[in-house]
């Protein structure tokens, strides 16, 4: 769960008073010719199929339905994202889809709910629940994805579409033995694929939030996440953190198996091996040794059992993000963020898994920041990081930033 830091107030220039001005004198010089705006190219379908207010696009390997209210630039960006994401996932699995991936990208929540009802056939209550608890959703029986664009557009880079496309490819790659794919393996690989879009902050969260689960004794045995029903039973905070644990487990499995781990494992599953047998055959280690050593390896993947880690750029593609991890479950923490121009203090509560994620975006001045976290009078963790980009401190700023950021 992210904390929203206050946006600093900025000074705005008042418009100058209107004054009479002489009329312009005629000139013989020709007016400058404006350069034409660059053409935005979108992957049109050979036989467009209008569907209500939706527009059909056909990026390589996909059938894309977009709200007509989205700008041409947004349509082109989404199509390019889908094409890149699908290519990346197919490379990961060494698998080419036999049919196009079908994706409905709706501008906002209302359209998202409409797709869940009219395309997926869900009842009103189910559609509303899914819309409240997801930003994108894959329906296996239809092999179709729905996306709420308004909820993902500001995260940089966008990863939700790649997550769902991983499920699409998985469903082909596991056949005819998809019954052998554990829910945590399927979902963990999809979450790990989110980290491959060039977003280091996502991978940092996977590793450090899994470690925070370990520190708070909230890691779940993988056996409790094996079936889809078991997986779906965990909601609320654990509904998020189960993805982090599963992704970290997948990362370690891939480390043990080596190059092309995912296609090798799925090839063995298609031949009838379950994950424990496939892992043992490919890694030369027993499944029991993997499970028995998982806690120690999760702990070894972070700098300390408790602390603050920073990463740049942050979750919005600018500034930097920070993560408190390994704190006591639901601890009340005094969080202080300081620089040469900022001194901000907040009282926050970490998650039941002992972590809290936040960002210092480009509304904050650039420079060196010190972030400290205290419980009561005791400073528990501190870190200093340099934030690049953002608001410049100019001499004509006559107001003190410290008074605005408290």
- The 10s digit of each residue's pLDDT in 7-44 is 333 332 322 333 333 333 333 444 444 445 456 677 77
Identical fold for domains 42-173 and 308-405, yes or no, is no
Cis peptide leading into residue 176 (ω within 30°): yes
- The 10s digit of each residue's pLDDT in 60-102 is 999 999 999 999 999 999 999 999 999 999 999 999 999 999 9
- The 10s digit of each residue's pLDDT in 115-160 is 999 999 999 999 999 999 999 999 999 999 999 999 998 877 889 9
CA distance 319 to 314: 5
Please report which confidence band the pLDDT of residue 50 belongs to, taking 50, 70 and 90 as the band edges: low
Q: Range with the lowest mean pLDDT among 59-63, 109-113, 326-330, 391-395? A: 391-395
User: What are the structure tokens assigned to 228, written together?
Assistant: 């889809």
Mean pLDDT of the chain: 87
Cis peptide leading into residue 157 (ω within 30°): yes
What is the pLDDT averaged over residues 287-291?
Answer: 98
Strand duo 320-325 + 356-360: pairing: antiparallel
Q: What percent of the chain has pLDDT over 70?
A: 85
Q: Which residues contact 387 (CB under 8 A, 6 or more apart)?
A: 312, 319, 320, 339, 360, 364, 365, 366, 367, 368, 369
Let me know: does 362 contact 391? Beta carbons within 8 Å.
Answer: yes
- The 10s digit of each residue's pLDDT in 193-208 is 999 988 899 999 999 9
Tell which CATH classification among 2.40.50.140, 3.90.1150.10, 2.60.40.3080, 3.40.630.10 matches the domain 308-405. 2.60.40.3080
**Looking at the DSSP assignment, which residues form a beta bridge with residue 367?**
387
Its CATH architecture, for the domain 42-173, is 3-Layer(aba) Sandwich (3.40)
Q: What are the backbone angles phi and psi of residue 47, rounded to the nearest 5°?
A: -130, 85
Q: Which residues contact 253 (CB under 8 A, 6 or more apart)?
A: 261, 265, 279, 283, 290
CA proximity to 165, closest of 251, 73, 95: 95
Please tell me which of 25-39, 164-178, 392-406 the model is most confident about, judged by mean pLDDT. Answer: 164-178
Assess whether pLDDT exceeds 80 at residue 404: no
CA distance 299 to 294: 9
Domain range list for the chain: 42-173, 199-302, 308-405
CA distance 246 to 166: 15
Q: Which residues contact 183 (CB under 8 A, 6 or more apart)?
A: 225, 226, 227, 228, 230, 231
Please report which confidence band the pLDDT of residue 57 belongs to, taking 50, 70 and 90 as the band edges: very high
What is the pLDDT averaged over residues 281-294?
Answer: 98
Q: What is the pTM of this model?
A: 0.84
Q: Which residues contact 132 (CB under 8 A, 6 or more apart)?
A: none
Quote the Cα angle for 192-197-307, to 5°. 60
CA distance 346 to 367: 20
3-state secondary structure of 204: helix
Work out the burial of residue 221: count CB atoms within 10 Å of its CB; fewer than 13 is exposed, 13-18 middle, 19 or more buried.
exposed
User: What are the structure tokens assigned to 203, written together?
Assistant: 């991978």
């Amino acid at each position: 769960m992210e904390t929203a830091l206050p946006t600093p107030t900025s000074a705005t220039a008042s418009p100058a008073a209107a004054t009479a001005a002489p009329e312009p004198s005629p000139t013989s010089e020709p007016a400058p010719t404006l350069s034409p705006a660059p053409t935005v190219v979108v992957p049109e379908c050979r036989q467009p199929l209008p569907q209500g207010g939706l527009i059909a696009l056909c990026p390589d390997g996909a059938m894309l339905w977009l709200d007509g209210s989205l700008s041409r630039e947004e349509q082109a960006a989404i199509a390019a994202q889908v094409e890149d994401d699908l290519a990346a996932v197919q490379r990961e699995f060494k698998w080419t889809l036999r049919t196009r991936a079908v994706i409905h990208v709706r501008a906002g929540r209302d359209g998202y709910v409409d797709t869940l009802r009219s395309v997926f056939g869900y009842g009103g209550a189910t559609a509303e629940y899914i819309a409240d608890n997801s930003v994108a959703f894959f329906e296996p029986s239809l092999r179709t994805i729905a996306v709420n664009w308004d909820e993902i557009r500001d995260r940089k880079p966008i990863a939700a579409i790649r997550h769902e496309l991983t499920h699409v490819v998985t469903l082909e790659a596991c056949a005819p033995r998809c019954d052998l794919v554990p829910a945590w393996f399927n979902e963990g690989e999809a979450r790990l694929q989110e980290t491959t879009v060039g977003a280091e902050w996502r991978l940092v969260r996977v590793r450090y939030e899994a470690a925070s689960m370990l520190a708070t004794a909230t890691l779940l045995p993988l056996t409790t996440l094996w079936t889809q029903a078991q997986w779906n039973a965990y909601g609320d905070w654990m509904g998020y953190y189960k993805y982090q644990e599963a992704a970290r487990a997948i990362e370690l499995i891939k480390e043990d198996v080596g190059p092309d781990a995912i296609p090798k494992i799925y090839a063995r599953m298609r031949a009838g091996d379950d994950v424990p047998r496939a892992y043992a055959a490919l890694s030369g280690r027993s499944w029991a040794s993997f499970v028995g050593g998982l806690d120690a390896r999760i702990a070894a993947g972070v700098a300390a059992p408790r602390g603050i880690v920073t990463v740049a750029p942050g979750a919005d593609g600018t500034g930097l993000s920070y993560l408190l991890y390994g704190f006591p479950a639901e601890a009340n923490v005094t969080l202080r963020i300081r620089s040469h121009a900022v001194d901000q203090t907040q009282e926050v509560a970490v998650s039941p898994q002992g972590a809290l994620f936040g960002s210092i975006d480009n509304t904050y001045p650039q420079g060196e920041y010190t972030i400290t976290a205290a419980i009561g009078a005791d400073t528990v963790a501190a870190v200093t990081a340099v934030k690049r980009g953002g608001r410049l401190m100019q001499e004509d700023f006559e107001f003190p930033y410290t008074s605005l950021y408290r």
